[in-house]
Structure 1
Amino acid sequence: MSWRTGLGLLLVAALVSGWSAWRMRGRDAPTAAQAQRSDYVLRDFELVVLGKDGAESVRLQAPQLQRSREDRSLDIATPLFLVPAEQGPWRLRADRGWVSPEADRVRLDGNVAGDSDPAAGMPTSFRTTRLELLPDQDLARTDQPVELRQPGIIQTGTGLQANLKSRQYRLLSKVRTRYEPSARR
């Protein structure tokens, strides 16, 4: 091999490494949240949580759940929570869910939908962007705008406190009510 060939190979290697470094310059290092690893990941699962009395407290279905290694909280993709009630379970859906390490608080974020059992005497539904669920107290609450629907009535307001077991609802402010009586047959 001549010195010209060696110099040519060295020049090509320098150009390739310089080009590679130039392409990598715009990429950021992974953030701490991206670098954090999960203790475990569940995929396509159904989980039943029992209360202190041994009765079913809540049932969860989702395509993915990750448990944080640092604080033991759970991050859930598109969760469906089924909360038992005397008149049939409540169905609570959202884009994301988070469960506290003690599992005493659930936060639902993005397109939150709550629907009572349709077979119940008065089906009820609500829509909001964020909801906090306290399963031990059968309480759901938010400080965000909410739309609450029952047969013949639509209520909107800011903030909601709902006892899912007793089916008592309270809109906290800016409440507007619209009655829609059913048509006579």
Structure 2
Amino acid sequence: MNRFWLGSLLAIGAAATGTALWWLREPPAPPTIDSRADYRLEGFEMTALRKDGSEGFTVVGPLLERDQDAQVTTLTEPRFGFPGEAPGQRWDARSATAWIGPDNDEVRLEGGVEMLAPQEGDGRQARFSTDHLSVFTESERVRTDAAVTVTQGRSILQATGLDVDMQAKTYELLADVDATFYPEPSGRPAAAAGDSRR
């Protein structure tokens, strides 16, 4: 056998061996998935409905995870919109994380929480800042027992604990109320200092 045929047979044998090894190699390990989450959504947008079929809230964010055992949903950096009393009115809220209960009837926002009420007729909006709060979608109420700051126009109120009626657009500061009121540019009279109910 001449060298040409010998070299050809060796090349074919080497190729066959390489192909066999490639097919027999161990497959790569699948990516690790949190066993508590039955699904994850990235870059999501979701609308949750109340029991009567009306909108409970909309939410967008970079990450959503559903815990199949506890039947709860956890969110990272969510931005919520809760319907207001009139069509087109929204209560906007954001936080570092959030938790949604099994029936979508409670939303817990945690870490750097900011909530913005719908605009008033004069264009002002109340802003609530706190560490954590809960929104109850069926009763349309917002509550927290944490320290909270409320700003509206040029007025600043600080307190411990908050209860908001989202339909009536009223709120009650529960304890340790400290209020600072500045005159509005239009000359509108300011509320009395220490008044804890809007």
- Scaled to the shorter chain, the TM-score interval is 0.7 to 0.9
What letter matches 2:130 in structure 1?
A: T
Q: Which residue of 2 aligns with 1:129?
A: 131
Alignment identity in percent?
30
Change (3 A) 1:116 1:78: same
Q: Give 5+ residue unaligned stretches, structure 2.
A: 1-32, 188-198
What letter matches 2:150 in structure 1?
A: L
Q: Which residue of 1 aligns with 2:179?
A: 177
Partner SS for 2:138: helix
Q: 2:78 & 2:118 partners in 1: Cα distance?
A: 18
What letter matches 2:112 in structure 1?
A: N
What letter matches 2:142 in structure 1?
A: A
Q: Which residue of 2 aligns with 1:93?
A: 94
Whether contact under 8 Å (2:143, 2:161) holds in the other structure is: yes
Could you tell me how far 1:170 is from its partner in structure 2?
0.4
Q: 1:184 & 1:41 partners in 2: Cα distance?
A: 50
Q: Give 5+ residue unaligned stretches, structure 1.
A: 1-33
Task: Work out whether 1:42 is the aligned partner of 2:44.
Answer: no
Task: Work out whether 1:144 is the aligned partner of 2:143.
Answer: no
Change (3 A) 1:49 1:120: farther
Name the structure where helix makes up a greater proportion of residues. Answer: 1
Counterpart selection for 1:162 from 126, 149, 164: 164
Q: 2:169 & 2:119 partners in 1: Cα distance?
A: 14
Task: Work out whether 1:54 is the aligned partner of 2:53.
Answer: yes
Could you tell me how far 1:86 is from its partner in structure 2?
2.4
- TM-score, scaled relative to structure 2: 0.71
Aligned residue-pair number: 152
The structure whose Rg is larger is 2
| CA displacement, residues 97-118 of structure 1 (integer Å, 9 cap, x when unaligned) | 0011222211111000001234
Change (3 A) 1:167 1:108: same
Q: 1:86 & 1:113 partners in 2: Cα distance?
A: 20
Q: Which residue of 2 aligns with 1:17?
A: none
What letter matches 1:59 in structure 2?
A: T
